[in-house]
Amino acid sequence: MRIGELSKATDVPVPTIKYYLREGLLPAGELTSPNQASYDETHVRRLRLIRALIELAQVPVATVKEILESLDSDTEPLHEQIGRAHRALTPTRRLTSTDEARAAATAQVTELIERRGWTVEPEAPALATLVDTIAAMQTLGQGHLSEYLDTYAEAVEKFTELDIAAVSARPTRDQLAESVVIGTILGETLISSLRLLAQESISAKRWGRG
């Protein structure tokens, strides 16, 4: 397809597609003449991934390029490819907490990971975020929320296994990696939305009128 057809197929404006091409986010099309290129379904899939990263996950263009370079690697193991993408997608935040609370939270998270037998890199951004979140709960007098950490972890592990099973059916390595990245972005929104709806329903049953 030509660039105009690619634009219609993905709902991405032509100037934006040209910008992605200049930035190296989108592979160049096959030249059919000095001023004309042809694009195919791989470009459609890649554009959808770029849109998910930039528009849904609010990932900066430079970081998107880093994620795509990882996914395009021919030598990096799939686990490492996905890991690099996850690290780029995980925001680095430092929540307000006391040193004492952070030390206790670190010990709690370390014990949790050991009990569940999870394989987690020490520098994983999500690990630091979890520690900071639990420490903030303690500091704000909401430490009782972290008492259910094992139950939360068990539930998360179950639906994550479903996530992996769902994307494992993808026919190619590229499609598998892309599905994991998009699934991570949309999955966060999905889970958050379901939790809010469940909270509203349970709250209505317990404390609502009538």
pLDDT mean over 133-137: 92
Task: Write the pLDDT tens digit of every residue in 75-113.
Answer: 778 788 777 777 777 766 667 788 899 999 999 999 999
Looking up tokens 């699934």 gives 183
pLDDT at 91: 67
pLDDT band for 118, please (50, 70, 90 cuts). very high
pLDDT at 153: 95
List the structure tokens of 27.
């592979």
pLDDT band for 173, please (50, 70, 90 cuts). low
Whether 3 contacts 29, CB under 8 Å: yes
Whether 44 contacts 8, CB under 8 Å: no
C-alpha angle 172-166-55 in degrees, rounded to nearest 5? 80
Choose between 80 and 141: higher pLDDT: 141
- Among 25-29, 92-96, 201-205, the least confident range: 92-96
Distance CA 150, CA 192 (A): 19
Choose between 73 and 25: higher pLDDT: 25
Residues 6 or more apart in contact with residue 143 via CB below 8 angstroms: 137
- Among 12-21, 58-67, 99-108, the least confident range: 58-67
pLDDT at 143: 86
Distance CA 145, CA 121 (A): 25
List the structure tokens of 97.
């907490």
Q: Is 43 exposed, middle or buried (CB count within 10 Å of its CB: 0-12, 13-18, 19+)?
A: buried
Q: Is 58 left (phi over 0), alpha (psi -120 to 50) or beta?
A: left
Which pairs from 51-58 meet CB under 8 Å and 24+ separation? 51/10, 51/12, 52/181, 52/182, 52/185, 52/186, 53/89, 53/181, 53/185, 56/185, 56/186, 56/189, 57/89, 57/185
